[in-house]
């Protein structure tokens, strides 16, 4: 299991690398936001420990950027303990939030917990010729990768998890609200579904079926 530690304090890096390696994890450190982005693009970590205050940006921005593409778990590790900081991190897709100074055994136990939960998302969903790999965040049509926006991805992954289930427009809207923190209106949803269908080669709506006056349903074909 590889843990990427994004942290600019050398003493914390040394202490954590020692602790994590004792526990059998491989721990690499990125001291800047850009360095972290580069390292992730080269090799996906199994988990990221993320400080908020970084020399070239902050952990929130980094988390937001990463979440548009990746789904690996992110644990914030920071001295900021205000409720609004914690809420902001979770809104951006954090899996846990640990306040410094942290206790070693608690940190390890939270890491294990997040990894256990993360494991459930690792499956590859399949629906007809569409596959969705939750770990890499990649969607493929007959093996060809398609680029989806965060909204399109979220809608598709929810629906692919339950093929045949009716998703009401309200359900989808509240689901999207939860991840983006931004209000998404009914019209935006229609446009997003239209674009998603186009990208999936489903312009006739045979895969993502419209259930009139209700919502949408993923057909397993």
The smaller minimum CB distance to Ca ion, of residues 32 and 199, is found at: 32
What is the closest distance, in whole angstroms, from the C-beta atom of residue 16 to Ca ion in the complex? 13
What is the closest distance, in whole angstroms, from the C-beta atom of residue 187 to Ca ion in the complex? 41
Interface region with Ca ion, contact rule CB under 5 A, candidates 4-12, 85-93, 110-118, 213-221: 4-12
What is the closest distance, in whole angstroms, from the C-beta atom of residue 79 to Ca ion in the complex? 8
The smaller minimum CB distance to Ca ion, of residues 5 and 132, is found at: 5
Interface region with Ca ion, contact rule CB under 5 A, candidates 8-16, 25-33, 159-167, 201-209: 8-16
What is the closest distance, in whole angstroms, from the C-beta atom of residue 113 to Ca ion in the complex? 24
What is the closest distance, in whole angstroms, from the C-beta atom of residue 4 to Ca ion in the complex? 15
Q: Does 8 bind Ca ion (CB under 5 A)?
A: yes
Of residues 45-104, which lie at the interface with Ca ion (CB under 5 A)?
A: 51, 53
Which H or E run includes 195? helix 186-199
Q: What is the DSSP string of 61-129?
A: HHHHHHHTT--S-EEEEES---HHHHHHHHHTT-SEEEESSPPHHHHHHHHHHHHHHHHGGGSEEEETT
Give the residue at shortest CB distance from Ca ion: 53
Interface region with Ca ion, contact rule CB under 5 A, candidates 5-13, 82-90, 105-113, 150-158: 5-13
Tell whether omega for the bond before 69 is within 30 degrees of 0, i.e. cis: no
What is the closest distance, in whole angstroms, from the C-beta atom of residue 46 to Ca ion in the complex? 23
On whether the CB atoms of residues 39 and 15 are closer than 8 A, the answer is no
Give CA 13 to chain center in angstroms: 24
- In three-state secondary structure terms, 211 is strand
Please provide the size of the chain in residues.
221
Interface region with Ca ion, contact rule CB under 5 A, candidates 6-14, 17-25, 83-91, 180-188: 6-14
Alpha helices in 120-168 (DSSP H): 150-161
How far lies 206's CA from each of 104, 152, 197, 203, 219, in Å? 52, 17, 9, 8, 7
Which positions lie near Ca ion, rule CB under 5 A? 8, 51, 53
């Amino acid at each position: 299991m590889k843990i990427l530690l994004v942290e600019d304090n050398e003493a914390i890096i040394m202490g954590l690398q020692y602790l994590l390696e004792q526990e059998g994890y491989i721990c690499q450190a990125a001291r800047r936001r850009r360095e972290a982005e580069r390292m992730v693009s080269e090799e996906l970590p199994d988990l990221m420990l993320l400080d908020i205050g970084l020399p070239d940006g902050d952990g929130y921005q980094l988390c937001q950027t990463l979440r548009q593409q990746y789904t690996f778990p992110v644990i914030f590790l920071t001295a900021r303990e205000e409720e609004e900081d914690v809420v902001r991190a979770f809104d951006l897709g954090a899996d846990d939030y640990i306040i410094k100074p942290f206790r070693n055994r608690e940190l390890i136990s939270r890491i294990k917990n997040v990894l256990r939960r993360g494991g459930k998302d690792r499956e590859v969903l399949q629906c007809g010729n569409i596959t969705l790999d939750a770990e890499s965040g990649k969607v493929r049509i007959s093996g060809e990768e398609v680029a989806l926006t965060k909204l399109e991805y979220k809608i598709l992954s929810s629906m692919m998890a339950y093929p045949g289930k009716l998703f009401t427009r309200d359900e989808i809207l509240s689901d999207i609200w939860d991840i983006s923190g931004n209000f998404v209106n009914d019209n935006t949803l229609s446009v997003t579904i239209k674009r998603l269908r186009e990208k999936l080669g489903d312009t006739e709506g045979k895969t993502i079926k419209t259930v009139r006056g209700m919502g949408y349903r993923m057909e397993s074909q």
